[in-house]
């Protein structure tokens, strides 16, 4: 068995992961977290919250997964998540229609079935594999489709990312954070993608957990107020220019222009620190800049955190993207709601501008029910758009001309306190399940004991270990088990997860704890009866030392930083 298979077998045996719906044959792309897995996952999430909510002071929000269609039309996901696929009639190989067409040098102006079929037919594109004819294109959308309500219902999708929730609530969040940038909102929840063929276990699921932060910046100032604290953090960077890994501090990366702005650099450093804290091996972690054609439809720069996994190679576990103003602009346009922020001037400014005052009586007679829209458009028209004979406007997609008799244009003086702009967004987006698997993979260690048997230890960082302490009576005799049970109760009261075990030999019990990554084990032995001490055994060094029972809870709390 390879290490990947070993980890999955162990994960199932020890209660970390179960294939979902197993008694009905299972469904690919879904996993259940067992008691150990759910605990480990939650502890990873807790550390993430410690960095983003406690450390950064961001606000955690929770939004529905079921999302009406217009949100994803505006965000671009309906279009970008739909691929047209064609299959060869002869050899059945499937290709993306747009890729085939673009390879011939043609440009696609409309992403629909008719255009794709027509272009493939006209360009006489044949199967690159066998030269066969293609069948008609069919759409493949990666979002789960559903309906809201019965009868007159509304099209909806399960969200493929949690980010949209932060954008939709931008105005409320902006007010919540007292209208000062930068601020961040975060969300930890499930996302859904109807993958065509999910494989590789937790790495590509159809329902998965993500932890996303959207930090809103003034585009003129993508500086991070606490960058000084991060400038000496080292990370392995792979820029898209050289494509060579280099280890350097984020301060250097920024001054050399490898990372474009302070905000991106800050979150690369923060991610590196978070991952080290939860036990990801820095030697198997790198940050790779996306190639220009690799970037998502919304991103203008992106660095992926990639972890090296046994068998799978380098796998993306986090994306840190500069989404610029893409999302807020799109939603502003689609919803008609203002999602801008205000950049206040140090002192109010007096400006002179030409204001257009519509004459409503004439306007009403000419434009009837459109008059209201015309009035709005006139009032916000730019001075340079005013022609000698009138103003050309676009109302609901129609070009109209407003003669100069229908309004008055006059210079006015106004006090302006600032200017409005659409904030830019830096988005660190963490794939929790992938991080979970990385933590398992990097902690998993196999050695041979003296008898040459394979021995598994999960070297989890104590902060994320599901069980912190195993408690064993050496034997169930002379009240040793009673004492052990009392210690268990005491540690639980002190907030330390522990597990009592009196089954099998002492070595077997250590082995069980080692396999689920428990960092410490306590053994109550016959000396305990004499001097009230127990042995505390360390998972990684296997060293034992005697500790007074009363000293146990404070000692573990200190080790765990509680």
Residues numbered 501-530 forming contacts with RNA, rule: CB under 7 A: 503-508, 510-512, 514-515, 523-526
Per CB under 7 A, which of residues 420..449 are in contact with RNA?
449
Stretch near RNA under the rule CB under 7 A, chosen from 269-277, 363-371, 397-405, 536-544: 536-544
Among 25, 105, 151, 397, contact with RNA (rule: CB under 7 A):
25
Q: Does 542 bind RNA (CB under 7 A)?
A: yes
Q: Exposure of 220 by Cβ count < 10 A (0-12 exposed, 13-18 middle, 19+ buried)?
A: exposed
* Cβ closest to RNA, residue 174 vs residue 430: 430
- Helix, strand, coil % over all residues of the chain, rounded to 5: 35, 30, 30
In which residue are the tokens 């704890």 written?
Answer: 513
Contact 169, 177 (CB under 8 A): no
Angle in degrees, 0-180, between the axes of helices 549-559 and 480-493, rounded to the nearest 10: 40
Which CB sits closer to RNA, 402 or 469?
A: 469
CB 364 within 8 A of CB 336: no
Rounded to whole angstroms, the Cα distance separating 270 from 121 reads: 51
Instruction: Say whether 416 sits in a helix, a strand or coil.
Output: strand
Contact between 471 and 500 (Cβ < 8 Å): yes
Site for RNA in 298-357 (CB under 7 A): 298, 311
Q: Which is nearer to RNA, 174 or 500 (CB)?
A: 500
Of 101 and 269, CB closest to RNA: 101
Piece of the chain touching RNA by CB under 7 A; list 59-67, 248-256, 294-302, 370-378: 294-302
Query: Binder to RNA among 13, 243, 361, 545 (CB under 7 A)?
Result: 13
Minimum distance of RNA from residue 213's CB (angstroms): 14
Contact flags string 396-415 toward RNA, x per CB under 7 A = --------------------
The yes or no reply on residue 104 touching RNA (CB under 7 A) is no
Residues 29-48 that bind RNA (CB under 7 A): 29
198-257 residues in contact with RNA (CB under 7 A) are 198-201, 204
Q: Please select the residue that binds RNA; options are 385, 475, 489, 551, rule is CB under 7 A.
A: 475
Residue 117, C-beta contacts closer than 8 angstroms, at least 6 positions apart: 136, 137
92 closest CA partner among 126, 134, 141: 134
Cα four-point dihedral sign 288, 292, 296, 302 = positive
Q: Which is nearer to RNA, 47 or 164 (CB)?
A: 164
- Rounded to whole angstroms, the Cα distance separating 27 from 6 reads 21
The answer to whether 395 and 131 are in contact (CB under 8 A) is no
Render the burial of 519-545: b for 16+ CB within 10 Å, e for the rest.
bbbbbbbeebeeeebbbbbebeeeeee
Select from 70, 136, 195, 486 the one that contacts RNA (CB under 7 A).
195
* Interaction of residue 481 with RNA, rule CB under 7 A: no
> Residue 297, interface with RNA (CB under 7 A)?
yes
Nearer of residues 162 and 169 to RNA, judged by Cβ:
162
One of 110, 242, 365, 544 touching RNA (CB under 7 A): 544
Strands (E), 97-172: 138-141, 145-148, 154-158
Number of residues that bind RNA (CB under 7 A): 71
CA distance 165 to 59: 13
How many angstroms separate the first and last alpha carbons of the chain?
39
Q: CB 84 → RNA: shortest distance, Å?
A: 10
Min dist CB 55 to RNA, Å, is: 25
Among positions 193, 286, 288, 434, the unique one binding RNA when judged by CB under 7 A: 193
What backbone phi and psi angles, to 5 degrees, belong to 133?
-80, 155
Question: Nearest distance from residue 488's CB to RNA, in Å?
Answer: 15
Return the residue of 62, 197, 313, 415 that touches RNA, per CB under 7 A: 197
- Contact call for residue 453 and RNA (CB under 7 A): yes
x/- contact string, 152-181, with RNA (CB under 7 A)? --------xx--------------------
Q: Counting beta carbons within 10 angstroms of the beta carbon of residue 517, is it exposed (0 to 12), middle (13 to 18) or buried (19 or more)?
A: buried
* Least distance in angstroms from the C-beta of 318 to RNA: 12
Sort strands 424-431 and 390-395 into parallel, antiparallel or unpaired.
Answer: unpaired
Among 144, 367, 421, 455, binds RNA (CB under 7 A): 455
């Amino acid at each position: 068995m390879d290490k990947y298979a070993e980890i999955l077998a162990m994960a199932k045996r020890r209660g970390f992961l179960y294939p979902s719906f197993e008694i009905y044959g299972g469904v690919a792309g879904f996993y259940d977290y067992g008691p150990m897995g759910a605990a480990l996952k939650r502890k990873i999430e807790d550390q993430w919250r410690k960095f983003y909510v406690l450390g950064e002071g961001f606000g955690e929000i929770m939004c529905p997964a079921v999302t009406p269609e217009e949100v994803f039309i505006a965000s671009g996901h309906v279009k970008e998540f739909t691929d047209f696929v064609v299959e060869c009639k002869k050899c059945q190989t499937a290709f993306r229609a747009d890729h085939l067409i673009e390879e011939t040098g043609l440009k696609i102006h409309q992403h629909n079935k008719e255009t794709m079929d027509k272009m493939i037919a006209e360009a006489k594109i044949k199967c690159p594999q066998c030269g066969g004819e293609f069948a008609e294109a069919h759409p493949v959308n990666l979002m789960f489709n559903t309906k809201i309500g019965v009868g007159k219902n509304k099209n909806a999708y399960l969200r493929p990312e949690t980010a949209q929730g932060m954008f939709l609530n931008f105005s409320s969040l902006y007010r919540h954070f007292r209208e000062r940038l930068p601020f961040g909102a975060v969300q930890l929840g499930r996302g859904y993608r109807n993958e065509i063929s999910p494989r590789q276990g937790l790495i590509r699921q159809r329902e998965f957990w993500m932890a996303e932060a959207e930090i809103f910046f003034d585009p003129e100032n993508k500086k991070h107020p606490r960058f000084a604290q991060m400038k000496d953090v080292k990370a392995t960077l792979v820029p898209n220019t050289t494509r060579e890994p280099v280890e350097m501090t984020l301060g250097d990366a920024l001054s050399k222009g490898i990372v474009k702005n302070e905000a991106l650099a800050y979150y690369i450093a923060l991610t590196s620190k978070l991952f080290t804290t939860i036990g990801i091996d820095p030697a198997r972690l790198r940050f790779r800049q996306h190639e220009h054609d690799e970037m998502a439809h919304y991103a203008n720069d992106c660095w992926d955190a990639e972890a090296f996994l046994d068998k799978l190679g380098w796998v993306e576990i986090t994306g840190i993207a500069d989404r610029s103003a893409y999302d807020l602009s799109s939603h502003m346009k689609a919803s008609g709601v203002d999602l801008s922020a205000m950049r206040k001037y140090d002192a109010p400014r007096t400006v002179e501008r030409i204001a257009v005052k519509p004459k409503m009586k004439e306007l009403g007679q000419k434009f009837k029910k459109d008059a209201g829209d015309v009035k709005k458009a006139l009032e916000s028209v730019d001075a340079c758009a005013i022609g000698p004979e009138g103003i050309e406007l676009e109302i609901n997609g129609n070009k109209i001309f407003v003669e100069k008799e229908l309004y008055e244009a006059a210079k006015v003086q106004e006090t302006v306190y600032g200017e409005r702009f659409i904030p830019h967004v830096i988005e660190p987006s963490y794939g929790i399940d992938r991080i979970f698997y990385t933590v398992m993979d990097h902690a998993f260690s196999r050695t041979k004991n003296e008898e040459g048997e394979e021995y598994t230890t999960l070297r989890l960082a104590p902060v994320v270990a599901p069980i912190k302490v195993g408690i064993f009576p050496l034997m169930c005799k002379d009240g040793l088990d009673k004492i052990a049970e009392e210690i268990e109760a005491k540690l639980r009261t002190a907030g330390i997860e522990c597990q009592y075990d009196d089954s099998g030999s002492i070595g077997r019990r250590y082995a069980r704890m080692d396999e689920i990554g428990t960092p410490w084990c306590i053994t109550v032995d016959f000396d305990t009866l004499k001097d009230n001490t127990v042995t505390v055994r360390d998972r990684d060094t296997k060293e034992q030392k005697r500790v007074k029972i009363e000293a146990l809870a404070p000692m573990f709390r200190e080790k765990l930083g509680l």
